[in-house]
């Protein structure tokens, strides 16, 4: 990941993945740029029960830079 890459969480705090990987976000859901959305795989049962996270993913996917609008903007 590039040094200046942005990672987003519901709040700015570090998180430790299942095998010890530490992830430190540069933004929270409220101020994350809508350019790229990466949703890691694995066992996500806990995350799937967090309404705020699901709401943010839906908002990001349906927001101003959703794939259909991005292609339209690119063609203009």
Low-confidence ranges of the chain (pLDDT < 50): 1-5, 71-73, 76
Enumerate the β-bridge partners of residue 27.
8
Query: What is the structure's pLDDT at 22?
Result: 80
Range of the domain at 53: 8-75
E-assigned strand segments in the chain:
8-9, 15-16, 22-23, 27-28
Q: How many domains does the chain have?
A: 1
Query: What is the structure's pLDDT at 58?
Result: 81
List of long-range contacts for 68-74, beta carbons under 8 Å, 24+ apart: none
Is residue 3 assigned to a domain? no
Query: What is the structure's pLDDT at 3?
Result: 47
Is residue 1 assigned to a domain? no
Query: What is the structure's pLDDT at 60?
Result: 76
Is residue 2 assigned to a domain? no
């Amino acid at each position: 990941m590039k040094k200046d890459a942005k990672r987003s969480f519901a709040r700015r705090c570090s998180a430790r993945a299942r095998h010890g990987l530490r992830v430190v976000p540069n933004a929270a859901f409220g101020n994350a740029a809508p350019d790229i959305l990466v949703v890691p795989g694995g066992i996500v049962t806990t995350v799937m029960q967090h309404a705020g996270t699901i709401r943010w993913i839906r908002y990001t996917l349906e927001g101003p830079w959703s794939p259909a609008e991005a292609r339209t903007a690119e063609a203009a």
